[in-house]
Amino acid sequence: MTYKLQTNPRKSASQERSRSTVDALIEATTRILIKEGYDRASTNRIAEVAGVSIGSLYQYFPSKEALVAAVIDRHTQQISAVTRNALVKAAARPIEDAAREFVSVAIDAHRINPKLHGVLAEQIPRVGRLENIEANVREGYALVRAYLEAHRDEIDVADLDLTAFVLVTVVEALTHAAVLRRPDLLADEKAGRFVDDVTRLILGYLRKQ
Amino acid sequence: MTYKLQTNPRKSASQERSRSTVDALIEATTRILIKEGYDRASTNRIAEVAGVSIGSLYQYFPSKEALVAAVIDRHTQQISAVTRNALVKAAARPIEDAAREFVSVAIDAHRINPKLHGVLAEQIPRVGRLENIEANVREGYALVRAYLEAHRDEIDVADLDLTAFVLVTVVEALTHAAVLRRPDLLADEKAGRFVDDVTRLILGYLRKQ
DNA sequence: CTAAAATATAAGTTTTAGCTCGCAATAGTA
DNA sequence: TACTATTGCGAGCTAAAACTTATATTTTAG
């Protein structure tokens, strides 16, 4: 086990044939991560599941980390597409609507691929290339902060930075935990109550007394 | 790399000599986990750092997982000693005091060994023997739930279970994130503001409107 | 003092994961 | 068709980590 931190693709696939090889590899990595976790996701096994030779794997990915990074990228992009969109839309809305929207979209985001999300959340720190995740989190913060700033008059903010931190942390933690550990709280009729409750939590915190 | 899930000690150390060996091993494991992470914590290296032969290691711990489990146990016990104590003390206090106490003790608990806590939080899912952690979390829930039930008249609770979930998740996430990722929020004079803010968040959620 | 029980040692075995490399097959091009 | 570039293959190399075992040392107890 040599630890190389290189995570960039070795060569970029130009023909259709190779592009599908790359796809199969990322797909297989995702499946194995979900079903068996990071430790069992050996490059040999990934290649086997992808129906591709180990040699081909290393033609496109210089290391196991690179493969995982690719999986992370894909997932992160899906999440950020959803969330950014919603945050931008909510920018002009009053806090009652925006808060509710914020909570809803956080749930949606966690529902994109809950199992993968869980595995990644537990193991990302060990993979290089966190930059994308980091960049995304920062973007989320920035959007929330910008919202708070724009709606300063409706809100009780002593410290913008702290408030943004609290909001993002709280909503992320609650939706993450609900989707991954307490799916019963989000089943059918109950889901509404959960959203109501979290929204109330946020509004109680933001609103002027 | 064979994966055995056995995490119980092989034999219990009876002489003073062997007890200090076991101690040195747990201590070394902790240090390596903190400094280099789970992956670099090989049994050979742990034995070396502990100043003990690899043979002795396997005399008391049947696997690497067992060693990590011992570290987790120790840390968990320290945390639960602190939190249980505080929760019991707060049981009779009105929500204003109890909430503040709850937040404070959560910070204290995370400050016991922040780095170790971070590493464990990221890697626990991969180790067997989560039972202790789970048991502890459940106990925390139970105490919070009991508090809410006892103070039903001061509080706006539609769903006890949901409310306990929200409280525990929120306070754990905020203090965890603050201690590990935003220590600036807890530096000297600012710490008070953080506690105030989180307490306000909780009370806004609990209090009847 | 001595035998047995407990503890400590480290060389060495086994397993497995990451990765390379030389060669084969396929696709694009003229 | 022939020639080149791209892609695919998988046996096998290397290193390292988990773990065993035969042996040596220390402690306990009768």
CATH code where residue B85 lies: 1.10.357.10
Contact A206, A159 (CB under 8 A): no
Q: pLDDT band for position B205 (50/70/90)?
A: very high
Q: Which nucleotide is nearest to B1 (CA to C1')?
A: D18
User: B69 with B129: CB under 8 angstroms?
Assistant: yes
Q: Categorize the per-residue pLDDT at A146 as very low, low, confident or very high, splitting at 50, 70 and 90.
A: very high
In a domain, A9, yes or no: no
Residue B76 and residue B153 share a domain: yes
Note whether residue B10 is domain-resident.
Answer: no
pLDDT at A9 over 60: no
Q: Is residue B16 very low, low, confident or very high in pLDDT (cuts 50, 70, 90)?
A: confident
| Mean pLDDT estimate for chain A | 91
Residues A127 and A169 in one domain: yes
Residues B78-103: tens digit of each pLDDT: 999 999 999 999 999 999 999 999 99
Asked if residue A127 belongs to a domain, the reply is: yes
**Domain-terminating residue out of A38, A62, A86:** A62
Average pLDDT (B28-47) is: 95
Are A51 and A128 within one domain?
no
For A32, the domain range is 16-62
Q: Which residues touch strand C (CB under 7 A)?
A: A 1-2, 4, 15-17, 40-45, 54-55, 58, 62-64; B 1-2, 11, 13-15, 17-18, 20-21, 52-56, 58-59
Same domain, A159 and A76: yes
First to last CA, chain A: 58
CB of B155 within 8 A of CB of B208? yes
Residues of chain B whose C-beta is under 8 A from some C-beta in A? 37-39, 122-123, 125-126, 158-159, 162-163, 165-166, 169-170, 172-174, 177-178, 182, 185, 193-194, 197-198, 200-201, 204-205
pLDDT at A134 over 50: yes
B113 and B199 assigned to the same domain? yes
Q: Do A201 and B197 touch (CB under 8 A)?
A: no
SS3 A155: strand
Q: Which protein residue's Cα is closest to nucleotide C16 at C1'?
A: B1
Q: Which of A62, A95, A116 is the last residue of a domain?
A: A62
Residue A10 has pLDDT above 80, yes or no: no
User: In the predicted model, what is the mean pLDDT of residues B175-193?
Assistant: 96
Taking 70 as the threshold, does the pLDDT of residue B5 lie above it?
A: no
d(C-alpha A88, C-alpha B65), whole Å? 46
| Rounded-to-integer distance, Cα B6 and Cα A111, Å | 34
Number of structural domains in chain A: 2
CA distance B42 to B60: 16
Mean pLDDT, residues A113-125 taken together: 89
At residue B10 the predicted structure's pLDDT band, cuts being 50, 70 and 90, is low
Provide the mean pLDDT of chain B: 91
Same domain, B150 and B54: no
Residue B50 CB contacts under 8 Å (≥ 6 apart), including other chains: B21, B24, B25, B27, B28, B29, B57
> Does residue A1 fall inside a structural domain?
no
What are the tens digits of pLDDT across the range B106-136?
999 999 999 999 999 887 766 766 677 888 8
Q: Which of chain B's residues have a Cβ under 8 Å away from the Cβ of A64? A: none
Q: For position A128, what pLDDT does the model report?
A: 62
In a domain, residue A187? The reply is yes
Residues ≥6 apart with Cβ < 8 Å to B160: B145, B148, B149
**A143 inside domain:** yes
In degrees rounded to 5, what are phi and psi of residue A177? -65, -40
User: Are residues A172 and A111 part of one domain?
Assistant: yes
- Indicate if the pLDDT at residue B72 is higher than 90: yes
Residues A184 and A88 in one domain: yes
CA of B43 to C1' of C2 (A): 37
Same domain, A85 and A118: yes
Q: Look at residue A2 and tell me if it is in a domain.
A: no
User: Which one has a higher pLDDT value, A176 or B14?
Assistant: A176
The residue whose two tokens read 């056995």 is B6
A171 and A189 together in one domain: yes
**Does residue A183 sit within a domain?**
yes
Are A100 and A184 in the same domain?
Answer: yes
Residues A52 and A154 in one domain: no
Identify the CATH number of the domain in which residue A30 sits: 1.10.10.60
* A113 CB-near residues (< 8 Å, 6+ apart): A34, A75, A78
Nucleotides on strand C lying under 7 Å from protein C-beta: 6-12, 15-22, 26-28
